[in-house]
Structure 1
Amino acid sequence: MSTQGSWQRDVFADLGGVPDPAAPEAGPEPEPGPEAAVPAQFGAERPAARRDSGRRTAHRPDTAPDSVPVGAPDLDDALGRVRRGDPPLRRVLRAVRALGASAAQDGASRAETARAIQQPVTTGRQIAVGSIRGGAGKSTVAALLALTFAHYRADPVLAVEADGVLGTLPVRLGAREVRWSCTEIADVIDASTPLASVTGYLVPFPGGWLLPGSRGTVTRNRLDPKAYYMAMASLRRHFGVTVVDCETLPTDVARYALSATQARVLTAPATVEGVAGTRLILDWLDTLDPAMLPTTVVALVHTSPDMAVDIGKAARHLEVRGATVIPVPYDRSLAAGGPIRTARLARATRDAAARLAAATMDRAVAHGRGDAVERSEASA
C-alpha cells in the first residue's frame, strides 16, 4: 500500500497544510452517513488561500468568464417546504427497532458498506452514471453518489456534469452560480496543474468539488468529446473518486464516458418499460466490450410512490453477465427537487446510496487490479 499512501500524500501536499489521511486524527470518528458534517480538511479554507506547492501551473487567462446563476433566481422562493423522506410514524418505528437485537446486525452491515466505500486506490477511480432517457433520476443518483463518497472518503472527490445542455447536477448539489465549464477548463489546466490551483476553477459542494457541464445556457453544440477527454485526463490524478453525470445515451460523450471509466451506473425507472429499455442498453454494452457488464451496477430508481414493478423479477431480467441491481426507494425529500438536503433523506435512501457507492467502488477497484495484471502480463 506504499504506492497508495504516496499518491494520497502528493494530493494532500498540493492542498497545502492539509493533514495526511494516514496520520491519526484527534477526536471521535463521526457516525457513517452522507448527512454528517463536511470534513474539516475540505471546508476550512477557500482554494485561493491555500499554499501553492511550487509545481508548474497552466496559464490562467487574463479574462475569466462571468459567473452565471444556476437555474432561475426569480424562482428561489418557489420551492415549498421540503418534507423529510421518512414520515413521522416510520421514524418512530425505526427508533423502536433500534432498541432490538437487529440493531447490531444493521450496524455491522453499515460498517461493512463503509469499508467497501473507503478502500484505498492507487490512482483515481472514475464512475460514470448514465441512462437511456431523461427523467430516470440520473442526476439525482450521481449527486447521491458524489455526496456519499465525499462523506466516507478522506481523499478529494469530484463530480463532473458531462451534460452540456440541460444538466441538473449543479442544482442537486446546491450550487448557486457557475463560472468555468468542462469545455473551458480543458483549455486552462493540464496534468501538471496542482490541486490548489485546479480547485479555483471548480465549485465546492459539501465535502467535494463540482465541474459543471455548461454555463447555464442551451446551445446547439453539445459537450465536445475531445474537451471532455482533455479535462478528465488533467483532473484524474487529483481526485480519489470522480463521479460523471453523463448525457442520455447514446451520445458520443456518454459512450466514451461509459467505456473509459472503471465502473458505471445505469439508472432505470422502476417500471416495466424502464427495465426493458435498460436491458437493451446492457445488451448493447456487451456488444461493445463484454468486460463492461461485470463492472456495471443498475440503480432501479423509484421516482413515484406508486411504482409497483416486482423488484425480484426486474433484478433477474437485468442481472446479466455480471451486472448487479440495487433498488433506490422513493423519497419525498428527493421528489421535491432542488438541492439535496441529506439530513432530510430517508434512512432507506441513505442506505441505498451507500450500497450503490460500495458496489461501484468494489467494481472500480477490481477493474484497476485487472489493468495492473494486464500490464504485468504484457511486460512479461
Structure 2
Amino acid sequence: MNARTETPTGTGARPGRHGDPVLRRIGRGLALPFLPSDHAAAHLARGEALQRAITTGRRIVVTRPRAGADEATVTALLASVFAHYRHDRVLTLDITPGSNSLARRLGVTPSSSLGEVARRRVSASSFEELTPHLARVRDRLWMLPAVHSGPDATALDAEAFQETLLPITRYFGVTLIDRGADVFDGFNRAAQASAHAHVLVAPATAEGAADIGRGFDWMTTQGDASLPERIVVVLVEQSPDEDPRFDHEGAAEVLRKSGAEVVRIGYDRHLAYTDGLQPRRLAASTHAAATTIALEALKRAVR
C-alpha cells in the first residue's frame, strides 16, 4: 500500500483509481437495500462514538517500528475519518524532518511550518492568528509540517514542543502526529511521551507482527507494561497476498493479550496507485478498517 504512492511507469494506472473493482461496487450498491437493520444501527453507533465530546484536545501519535510501513497513509486515513464524523477541528502534524509524505497524501502544499511559527513567535491567543500558517485540507481538517526541508529549516526541540505545539493543539479536538521511524530528537521524544494514544503501523507480514511483539516485550522490560493498552496496532497489506502464509488472526490474538487492539488494512488499489487520498474511492474494507482504528484510538485517548 505504501511504496507505490506514485503511479508506476508503464502500468496504465489512472490517478484516482477506485480501491474496489467496478463489479464489487455495483454489487454492494445492489445489496444495500437488503442489508439487515442492525447493520445500519451498528454504523450509526460507531458514528456517535466518534462524535463523543472531548473537553481538552487529544493527541494521537502514529508511528512505525522501522522503515517500510507507511504511517503517513494511516495518518491521512484517520484524519479523514475524524474530520468526517467529528464537529470540532482536526489537525495533522508531520514531524518527520524534511518529509512531505503526509502532505502528498492529503493533497496539500503547506506554505508554513511549526518551525516557522516558533521562529516568528506567532501568538496562539486565537485560532485566527494561526490560520495563515495552516494548510486547509477540507472542512474541519488542517495540516502542518514540523519543519520544511532546506537551508532555512528550523530545528525543533522539546522546548518548542511545549511552547509552540501544545498551545496550538488546544484549538483542535484531535491532533494526529505523524512520527517516522528512527527519529529520536527531543521534539520527537516529547511528542511520543505526551500522546494520549498511539497507533503503531507495520506490514501485514510475520516479520511486521514480530517487530510489534518485540516492541511490546521491550516496553515490559522498561517498566511500561501498561503502555500497549493505549496502542492500536495496524497491520497493512502493501501488495496483494504480500505474505500468504502469515496468520493474521493468530498474530492478532497474541498481540491483543498485551492489551492492544489489532486492525488489518488489506491491499487497496486506490492507495497503491494514487498520490492524494480520495475517501470516496477507497475500498469499502479500507474505509471500515480506518473507522475501526479511529474509534479504538479515540477510546484509548479519552480513558
- TM-score w.r.t. the length of structure 1 is 0.70
1:84 to 5, 18, 30: 18
Q: One-letter code of the match for 1:114?
A: G
Q: Is 1:316 aligned to residue 250 of structure 2?
A: no
Q: Is the 8 A contact 1:121 1:240 kept in 2?
A: yes
Q: Is 1:351 aligned to residue 284 of structure 2?
A: no
Give the gaps of 5 or more residues in structure 2. Answer: 1-5, 7-11
Q: One-letter code of the match for 1:289?
A: D
Q: Within 1, Cα distance between the matches of 2:214 and 2:155?
A: 24
Q: One-letter code of the match for 1:125?
A: R
Q: Is the 8 A contact 1:191 1:235 kept in 2?
A: no
Aligned residues between the structures: 290
1:283 to 217, 224, 231: 217
For residue 194 of structure 1, report the CA deviation from its aligned partner. 0.2
For residue 191 of structure 1, report the CA deviation from its aligned partner. 7.2
Give the gaps of 5 or more residues in structure 1. Answer: 1-71, 73-77, 367-380
Q: Is 1:100 aligned to residue 34 of structure 2?
A: yes
Q: Within 1, Cα distance between the matches of 2:121 and 2:48?
A: 33
Task: Mark the CA change 1:352 to 1:218 in structure 2 (over 3 Å): closer, same or farther.
Answer: farther
1:324-357 Cα offsets, whole Å, 9 max, x none, are: 1011121100001411011111111111111111
- 2:51 corresponds in structure 1 to 118
Q: Is 1:265 aligned to residue 199 of structure 2?
A: yes
- 1:186 corresponds in structure 2 to 118
| Superposition map of 1:50-89 within 5 A | 80-89=14-23
Q: One-letter code of the match for 2:237?
A: H
Structure with the greater relative contact order (CA < 8 A, sep ≥ 6): 1 or 2?
2
Q: One-letter code of the match for 1:317?
A: V
| Superposition map of 1:335-374 within 5 A | 335-366=272-303
Q: Is 1:306 aligned to residue 238 of structure 2?
A: no
Q: Is the 8 A contact 2:147 2:155 kept in 1?
A: no
Q: Is the 8 A contact 2:235 2:264 kept in 1?
A: yes
Higher mean alpha-carbon deviation, 165-174 vs 150-159, is at 165-174
For residue 282 of structure 1, report the CA deviation from its aligned partner. 2.4
Q: Is 1:213 aligned to residue 150 of structure 2?
A: no
- 1:372 corresponds in structure 2 to none
- 1:378 corresponds in structure 2 to none
Q: Is the 8 A contact 2:271 2:282 kept in 1?
A: yes
Q: Within 1, Cα distance between the matches of 2:34 and 2:122?
A: 54
Q: Is 1:332 aligned to residue 295 of structure 2?
A: no
- Percent identity between the two aligned chains: 35
Q: Within 2, Cα distance between the matches of 1:170 and 1:337?
A: 13
Q: Within 2, Cα distance between the matches of 1:327 and 1:81?
A: 25
| Superposition map of 1:209-248 within 5 A | 209-217=142-150, 223-248=156-181
Q: Is 1:199 aligned to residue 136 of structure 2?
A: no
Q: Is the 8 A contact 1:191 1:237 kept in 2?
A: no
Q: Within 2, Cα distance between the matches of 1:261 and 1:190?
A: 24
Flag the structure with larger Rg: 1
SS of 2:159's equivalent in the other structure is: helix
- 1:53 corresponds in structure 2 to none
Q: Within 1, Cα distance between the matches of 2:59 and 2:81?
A: 15
Q: One-letter code of the match for 2:297?
A: T
Q: Is 1:127 aligned to residue 71 of structure 2?
A: no
SS of 1:108's equivalent in the other structure is: helix
Root mean square deviation of aligned Cα: 2.6
1:187-243 Cα offsets, whole Å, 9 max, x none, are: 345775200111111110023111113324499996534323432212121111000
